[in-house]
Amino acid sequence: MVIEILQAGTGDSIWVSHNKKNIVIDGGKSTAAIRAKYSKMPQDEIIDLLVVTHIDSDHIAGIIALVKHMKEIGETHRLKQVWFNFPKKEETDEYSVGEGNELTSLLLEIDGLFWNNNTSELLGSTIEFGDIKLHVLAPDHDVAYENKPKEPDELGVRSDDWYIDLRTLIDNVDDDDIDEGGTNSQSIIILAECAGKKLLLPGDSTPKKLCDALQSYNKTNGTPLELDFMKLPHHGSTRNVTKNILNEVTCSNFIISTKKNNKYYFPNKETIAKLIRYRDSADKAINVYFNYQESLDVLGITAEELTENNINLNVCNEFNF
């Protein structure tokens, strides 16, 4: 299994492939990366599954661009299945969301496409694409009609901690200020498994939703969930990473997907501090992988701090299992 964390600007775009099976999760804010990746897909392959975790522009914009491109070149037949929790009609009332409606219109024009707009029906099931197994952990109810535009104060909370000393952050971390609602709470959370390796892809999930999903999974399957990799939710925002979440998993390898975000200061340096502070043993090395060099560099963490805290920061866009 190959996991590619595309350079899709400040958003998420993840391409999972194995033995001619292709699963695309989100399209990012920048549309160039996903179109370029699609253009390199062998002609005898299709996109077996396209997932839109939630309707935020930094996840859906690239998907819209990709589907438009496929339509323009007459290749929409290469899209087989979509998971997108949104009404299968164009909404025009106060709860309408422009990009959600735009993608809906495009999807409804594709003959033979299977579109699941209530992925909560998949909870407890294992969905297989060749050797790739997917487990949907959230949402746990139908959220298709809960979408509405975000209010300005919901779009993000600025946390400029790039210039704060790492030790200061480690000594003072807390989970008092967390992301609690909006469209992030509707994110589709996916556990991907192949050849005995497990990867958690939580979209922009809020701490409560992610923790509840993990606790529910662990209650059924045993605790804690052992992961080979975990993509940290919401582009490394400290408001989406908590001690309770990290207590529900055993994981040493984390992925942060975002270009340096000068508006909301993602990724947050405090997120790295939380990984250090909340791990169960200082003897256990932590590896964090960024898909942009600038996102690593902006944190300003020194080689001495890395050694002192037994943590490695790397830039990597592709992972092979």
Angstrom distance (rounded) from CA 3 to CA 6: 9
The CA-atom distances, in angstroms, between 141 and each of 20, 104, 128, 272, 287 are: 32, 20, 22, 32, 34
More confident residue, 14 or 222: 14
- Give the residue-averaged pLDDT of 229-245: 96
Q: Please, what is the average pLDDT of the chain?
A: 92
Please state the pTM of the whole predicted model: 0.94
Instruction: Give tens-digit pLDDT for 133-180.
Output: 999 999 999 998 886 655 544 445 556 899 999 999 999 999 999 998
User: Residue 315 forms beta bridges with which residues?
Assistant: 290
Report all structural domains of the chain as residue ranges with CATH numbers, in order of start: 2-320 (3.60.15.10)
